[in-house]
Structure 1
Amino acid sequence: MKQFQFNDFPNVTGSRVSLRQITDNDIPDLIEISFYDAVRAENVHQAAEMQARINQDCLDGNSIHWGIVDNETNRMVGTCGYYRGLDKGEGELGCVLLPQHYGKGYMTAGMSLAIDFGLHTMGLKRIWAATSLQNGPAIKLLERLGFVKTADVSDDEIEYEWRKNNDL
């Protein structure tokens, strides 16, 4: 079922970063964070194939996947998007940041834009995220954004739900 369909890919502009569609020119810079079904790309060809599958998922209305771009340099620093649950009016929010950009606030800015878009443009009723118990930076990011832990999904995975109703 197509839950969300856009005539044009929705780009979102913020003061520090923007969320935009990933192009073929971006793929070489994103190989190390290119994943599909938890499998990481090992080369440009695999990353391009994965991106084509991601783009089809977006066209089918099952997900939305943005590149996070530093507005000052116009360079891609990571990715984020909604990957599951859209058919129920919900969205699992996920993200990956290029290692050289850790600790610089890019993901906080990008995820804030994605949360706002999910709530106000897509009308999502619930936003959640899952991460590993060992991923301390992701846990801190989610808590900083207003997510609260809601479940231990497995021995190593925990789920968080967005609950903050402040400035978004």
Structure 2
Amino acid sequence: MTPVLRGTRIELQAIAAPHAAALYEIWTHPAVGPWLNAPQLASAADAEQLIELLLQMSREEESLRWSIALQGGRIIGSCGFNQWQLAGAFRGEIGCELSPAFWGQGYMREAMELILDFGFGTMGLNRIEALCHPGNVRAAGLFSGLGFSQEGLLRQYRHTGAGFQDAVLFALLRSDRQKRLAGMI
């Protein structure tokens, strides 16, 4: 079961079918959609099917996704762990997207802080990774601002409708996060 994570201005709640219309608008927005490594969606019904797939993956402990909700309940994005590996690695990969109407207001940073705390604390991860397209300056800035180190370029790492695409690899270690929170870096 996906726990609710509460921040100052937002709440992360388990992604659910009633969120499909709002998430469809975000996932297909021209400023968001091109950066996602997700199938093309033609309708809110397609978004609902994707949500069901994400929920199934969560039940099988392959993925964990939250909807980002404002205090009043409005869904403004989603985030979570695309995958993780505990045995022998203790690492996970995160992903996120936010409605452009809420960019630059600190909502995604707040959401990421919540899932970093969950990943390092509750899940016991030692390393959290994030991948983004080399041209996605906003995502790169977010991850850098959270203390992630850019570790390299993964050439032709993903295949999308546009063909093979590179991905920039960012990573944050538990020890680096602890030092950062303690004001040591």
Is TM > 0.5 for Structure 1 vs Structure 2? yes
**In structure 2, C-alpha distance between the alignment counterparts of 1:140 and 1:77, rounded to whole Å:** 20
Counterpart AA for 1:86: Q
Coordinate RMSD, CA, aligned: 1.9
| Cα distance in 2 for residues equivalent to 1:28 and 1:54 | 16
Residue 60 in structure 1 maps to residue 60 in structure 2: yes
- Aligned partner of 2:40 in structure 1 is 40
More displaced 10-residue stretch of structure 1: 132-141 or 81-90: 81-90
Deviations 1:5-62 (A, max 9, x none): xxx3211111121111122221111103448962132201111111000000000001
2:21 pairs with 22, 25, 28, which one?
Answer: 28
1:112-141 Cα shifts (integer Å, max 9, x gaps): 100000000111111000001111110110
Partner letter of residue 19 of structure 1? L
The secondary structure found in structure 2 opposite 1:100 is helix
1:65-144 maps to which residues of 2 (within 5 A)? 65-71=65-71, 73-87=72-86, 88-144=89-145
Separation in structure 2 between the aligned mates of residue 95 and residue 148 of structure 1, nearest angstrom: 17
Unaligned runs of 5+ in 1: 1-7
Q: Is the 8 A contact 1:67 1:76 kept in 2?
A: yes
Distance of 1:40 and 1:92 partners within structure 2: 22
Matched, 1:158 2:183: no
Q: Which runs of 5+ in 2 are unaligned?
A: 28-32, 157-165
Kindly indicate whether the alpha-carbon contact (under 8 Å) linking 2:17 and 2:52 is maintained by their aligned counterparts in 1: no
Equivalent residue pairs, number: 160
What is the one-letter code of the residue matched to 1:57? M
Does the Cα contact within 8 Å between 2:95 and 2:130 map onto a contact in 1?
yes
Contact 2:68/2:76 (<8 A) preserved: yes
Q: Is the 8 A contact 1:12 1:20 kept in 2?
A: yes
Is 1:77–1:106's contact at 8 Å kept on the other side of the alignment?
no
The Cα of 1:89 is off from its aligned counterpart by 2.5
Equivalence for 1:3:
none
Report the secondary structure of 1:164's partner residue. helix
2:12 matched to which residue of 1?
19
Q: Which has the larger radius of gyration?
A: 2
8 Å CA contact retained: 1:32, 1:41: no
